Structure 1
């Protein structure tokens, strides 16, 4: 049965956040988009040196490492096992073009990057803003219930307070979330760019089907008793996350797919509430 295309009307709250972020993790490493698009533009197989020749701003060694990781992730295939064997996009890698187009369109419509920006650079910038673990859950909480205070976002997203604070700060820096005022306790809302993410999440989730199948076919690795090493979130937050998921699953379909209007945030307020880029 042919796969169906993701609908541009898909709501932010209806996507599987973890599945989306797992898919983003495959395309987030720097130069992955450039490498994939370089391979897509060629009708012949390409060796590492051939790809590097078309990306003069990236070292051949780094191109080799990136292609090796893309091969491990199923985005490219090699013809032969010998050292220096050429690469080509896999069917999975070729299907990434829809995600790239959607990310480029979202960036073009919602982000001011300044000057002339290459399409691949714009896509990689968009992925950098979206791929961090649990960012999607925070955006979903605000899409469903904004404006929201910090503690309510943490509760709805199923995250602990410290982790939520980190994610909100980063999302503000990246222009996806804003605080409605300069005071510490003022509620947060999604910016226009954040509210426009429905088509992006839908495209990534649709593309992620092979990722989900591959990950679910293997038994899950053991998790340490004290911490979750891939996120730094205490294991105790599982109870919070589960309770939040149950609340969302109990919501009526009309609420799950609705887009309640959120107040526009004046630019001057957004500027006041945005943290600095220093880390």
Structure 2
């Protein structure tokens, strides 16, 4: 069973990040996604774990120099730049937020990667690229925002070359939610603009409907959500003690996001996974 807020729209997601982007980036040390904490040394930071998550994505997408990758929901661009640095591949990042695209472009220029990485405002359900024009694609914590996930996957399958990989890092349902649990989580779906969560067991079917074959479904919940939330709580406590300057986000949004972390932590049915799929060669 797929759960989430069916009222989420593209415009609402853009508005959400207009308010929340700076707060999320400040909490996570720049990157805007969960970390991967497995085997990291003691004393590692959220940016260390976020970089390790991107390293895992790079490993799974498996591209090399001269190939081309589509980053769907690129955010502020850190993962795309890291991918380009690690592989030598060309990266095209798309996002529905013009502000994210602008910030990502600034980052690529600062890293001297703007000849290798570019960012564009685009909607994944209407990709402006010809068929079979990418060797790989990934969605790093953007899939759950998409109101029409099937249309998104079909568009990605269209622009992938045969044999190309799609890697999805996403919140998932590890076990079904009861109606009572889903009602309790309604505020979380709304504040986080979570359109839908697919069960772990549901990915092969969802991907097959879009013409993609599932290679791997890797549940990394214990190495991602819990440690990342624990690190954010420590960061928030340190800020309160130091009376740090207020961010641009409203006090209400901060409180809603803190409450959301508590709900996540109390609901082990919500997890985090890496899903690897490929486009058939014949």
Query: Which bin holds the TM-score, normalised by the shorter protein?
Result: under 0.3
Richer in helix (by share): 1
The two structures have a TM-score, normalised by structure 1, of: 0.23
**Structure number with larger C-alpha Rg:** 1
The two structures have a TM-score, normalised by structure 2, of: 0.23
